[in-house]
Amino acid sequence: MKIGILGAGSWGTALAKLLNGNGHEVTVWSIDAEEIVMLNEYHEHRSKLPGVMLAGDVRFTTDVQIVVEGADMLVMVVPSPFVRSTAKTIAPYVAQGQLIVNASKGIEESTLMLLDEVIKSEVPQAKVGVISGPSHAEEVGLSMPTTVVAGSKDEEVAKHIQDTFMNDFFRVYTSTDVLGIELGAALKNVIALAAGMADGAGCGDNTKAALITRGIAEIARLGVKMGGKPDTFSGLSGIGDLIVTCESKHSRNRRAGFLIGQGKTYHEAMDEVQMVVEGVYSAKAALALAKKYEAEMPIVEVVNKVLFEDLKIDEAIKLLLTREKTAEVHG
């Protein structure tokens, strides 16, 4: 197949290697001309994914038309704040029924739309699917065993994505619950910020386990009210992605949270991480969705207060621990 990858960051680079290794013809686009010069010269993303070498037949370009026209599949891998602008840029070149697979994670703050909805709104002639799960680029780039889920409301499209990405180290499951997949992918970044904040403040494993467990309860609570399937949140794009993002040394959201837990502002933390921290962009949207659907999400509320209202970490912990007493499971 001919595959165009939109976004040349660490995840886009890792997926380029994966898909090229699966025998596909891969072209990678970036809006950053210097990034494309580096990739063409070294076939390695030296700043974001050092040590992962791409084959000589992987192509790189700043010309979006070259990537889109004639591609059997497009893979969206730009940071969430740029999904709409990228979709708008490619729209004139996308053919009727052309497949776009969203591999980005987040919620659009201004509209509260999930990213597959953003793409569909700008490129209505396209088919849109998703791929998500616990899959840090640093490990996929080194062919470490990984499992993810491919989603589409059309089961045959989900199976097509599965066939395209799957190999002997990258196992892909299918699902028709696109909303659940997308929501879990976005909200786990907000909970990972909380986990990082706790680490930075010197809390222990008990605290991390509590945040992961109660975090997935919050995500599922909102997700089911929005129409997602409960099983999705106990799967790869739910608890699976949440665990890896809260625990991994590769997690930029956990790293940013750690720095905030040590007293830095979110601006200072993002500057130090030097990559887009999706949880910061999704936190306000998550809180707005919680209010819209009347879903109780105390961790999300507290993360917003720490990020945007200067709530101190020790005060945030106290707020969570001294909430009104309740049962763990209702109904």
Q: Where are the beta strands (DSSP E) in 95-169?
A: 99-102, 127-132, 146-151
Q: Which residue type is seen at 166?
A: M
All structural domains of the chain:
2-176 (3.40.50.720), 179-321 (1.10.1040.10)
For residue 274, the model assigns a pLDDT of: 80
Q: What is the CA radius of gyration of the chain?
A: 19
The question of whether 284 is a catalytic residue gets the answer no
pLDDT in tens, the chain (331 residues): 999 999 999 999 999 999 999 999 999 999 999 999 999 999 999 999 999 999 999 999 999 999 999 999 999 999 999 999 999 999 999 999 999 999 999 999 999 999 999 999 999 999 999 999 999 999 999 999 999 999 999 999 999 999 999 999 999 999 999 999 999 999 999 999 999 999 999 999 999 999 999 999 999 999 999 999 999 999 999 999 999 999 999 999 999 999 999 999 988 998 898 877 888 889 999 999 999 999 999 999 999 999 999 999 999 999 999 999 999 987 6
Question: Tens digit of pLDDT for each residue in 8-62?
Answer: 999 999 999 999 999 999 999 999 999 999 999 999 999 999 999 999 999 999 9
- Widest pairwise Cα distance in the chain: 60
Neighbours of 296 (CB within 10 A): 13
Asked if 191 and 218 count as a contact pair (C-beta separation under 8 A), the reply is yes
Asked if 29 and 8 count as a contact pair (C-beta separation under 8 A), the reply is yes
For residue 331, the model assigns a pLDDT of: 65
Neighbours of 288 (CB within 10 A): 14
Please name which of 162, 150, 253 lies closest in space to residue 199, comparing C-alpha atoms.
253
- From 48, 105, 120, 188, active-site residue: 188
For residue 166, the model assigns a pLDDT of: 98
Which residues touch 63 (CB under 8 Å, ≥6 apart)?
29
Separation between Cα atoms, residue 209 and residue 142, nearest integer Å: 28
Separation between Cα atoms, residue 65 and residue 11, nearest integer Å: 21
DSSP letters for 212-259: HHHHHHHHHHHHHHHT--HHHHTSIIIIIHHHHHHH-TT-HHHHHHHH
For residue 278, the model assigns a pLDDT of: 86
pTM of the model: 0.95
331 burial level (CB within 10 Å; 0-12, 13-18, 19+): exposed
